[in-house]
């Protein structure tokens, strides 16, 4: 007959493995999201941002660098705005 600790050990190991698996999947999905956002940034800066805000046309490089993190994080919303052609 198995002791109590021998029965609970596989359950604890399974919980630990599942937690690591879920964490790995979340990290991979976050990485893919950020990668898509980074790829989206370059065409957005060239053409898309002008559809949203016409005043950006003559903006300095500093401004374009400054909006990089926000563009990467909010790329789905910005993509929707560019497709609509609506202004903020």
Q: What pLDDT band is residue 4 in, cutting at 50, 70 and 90?
A: low
Which residue range is the domain that position 14 belongs to?
4-84
Tens-place pLDDT, residues 13-44: 777 888 899 999 999 999 999 999 999 999 99
The model carries a pTM of: 0.77
Say if residue 86's pLDDT is above 80. no
Say if residue 8's pLDDT is above 80. no
Number of domains in the chain: 1
Q: What is the mean pLDDT of the chain?
A: 85
Task: Spell out the SS3 assignment of the chain.
Answer: CCCHHHHHHHHHHHHHHHHHHHHHHHHHHHHHHHHHHHHHHHHHHHHHHHHHCHHHCCCCHHHHHHCHHHHHHCHHHHHHHHHHCCCC
d(CA 23, CA 20): 5
d(CA 51, CA 47): 7
């Amino acid at each position: 007959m198995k002791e109590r600790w021998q029965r609970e050990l596989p359950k604890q190991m399974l919980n630990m493995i599942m937690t690591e698996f879920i964490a790995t999947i979340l990290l991979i999905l976050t990485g893919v999201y950020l990668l898509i956002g980074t790829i989206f940034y370059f065409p957005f800066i060239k053409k898309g941002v002008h559809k949203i805000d016409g005043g950006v046309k003559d903006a300095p490089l500093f401004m374009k660098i400054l909006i990089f993190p926000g563009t990467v994080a909010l790329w789905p919303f910005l993509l929707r705005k560019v497709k609509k052609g609506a202004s903020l």
